[in-house]
Amino acid sequence: MLAERIQPMAYQARRIYVELMFKVLGSAFQAASEIDPEIQQEGKALPTGLLFEMKVIPDGPRMIVEHLGNGRFLSHGNNPPRPVDLSIQFKHIAHAFLVLSFQEKTSVAYAHDRMLVDGDIGYGVRMTRILNRLEAFILPKMIASRAVKQYPANLDLPEKLLTASRIYLKVATKFLKW
């Protein structure tokens, strides 16, 4: 009886968590691209104007970022200004929750067929690398190690702390503006 009452609330909480995480990730994506030269280097190979989304199909939460050129990205929240060019899609919100709550690495979710890439696979691989680097910055090492395939060996603590605080500051500023 109690479980029946709690379950819808749990589902609702899971959806809210995924929505929030997408919001944070989108903003952090933009912030990290303004700060980290490695992310900029990765992004440079992408076409300017590329619109990328990560979403839960069919019409669940999503985040949209646009490549402005030179490896810089702009977060569009969950509203694409035009049809997206590249989409990474979770098959179910439960799968997105597994990844965004760091119970399953992004690479493992791919391997488990929980996600689909619609668009140029090469760009999808590149965006996943950027996402991995972003997670390595903004998450504590213990949690980041659960999120990415391999925690970057060359990321030392001072660099991580400095970059993470700059990313969080930019994200917080953006959230305050909202």
Partner 1 sequence: MSNQFYEFFCPVKVIAGKAALEHIPYELTGLAAKRPMIITDKGVRAAGLLDPVVNACTESGLDIASIYDDVPPDSSTGVVRKIAGIYRSEQCDSIIAVGGGSAIDTAKAVNILVSEGGDDIAAYSGAGILKRALKPFFVVPTTAGTGSEVTAVAVITDIEKHVKLPFTSSFLLPNAAVIDPRMTLTLPPHITAATAMDAMTHATEAFTCMARNPLSDAYATAAIRKISDNLLKVMDNPRDADARLELAQASTMAGIAFSNSMVGLVHSLGHATGALFHLPHGLCMSLYLPYVLEYNLESIREPLGELLLYLDGPDAYAATPGNRRAEAAIASIRKLRDTLYKYCKLPRTLKETGAVREDQLDNIAELALDDGSIMFNPREVTLEDARAVLKRAWA
What CA–CA distance (Å, rounded) separates 49 from 52? 9
Q: Is residue 63 a contact point for partner 1 (CB under 8 A)?
A: no
CB 39 within 8 A of CB 70: no
Q: Is residue 121 a contact point for partner 1 (CB under 8 A)?
A: yes
Q: Is residue 124 a contact point for partner 1 (CB under 8 A)?
A: yes
Of 40, 78, 101, 107, which lies in the binding site for partner 1, with binding defined by CB under 8 A? 107
Least distance to partner 1, CB of residue 17, Å: 18
SS3 56: strand
Of 28, 54, 100, 148, which lies in the binding site for partner 1, with binding defined by CB under 8 A? 148
Of 108, 145, 168, 170, which lies in the binding site for partner 1, with binding defined by CB under 8 A? 108
CA distances to 5, 52, 119, 156 from 68, rounded to whole Å, are 46, 11, 18, 29
Least distance to partner 1, CB of residue 98, Å: 7
Q: Is residue 94 a contact point for partner 1 (CB under 8 A)?
A: no
Least distance to partner 1, CB of residue 170, Å: 26
What CA–CA distance (Å, rounded) separates 65 from 115? 18
Q: Torsion-angle region of residue 134: left (phi > 0), alpha (psi -120 to 50) or beta?
A: alpha
CA distances to 35, 70, 99, 162 from 169, rounded to whole Å, are 12, 22, 24, 11
Of 28, 132, 160, 171, which lies in the binding site for partner 1, with binding defined by CB under 8 A? 132
Residues at the site binding partner 1, with contacts judged by CB under 8 A: 45, 98, 103-104, 107-108, 110-114, 116-119, 121-126, 128-129, 132, 148-150
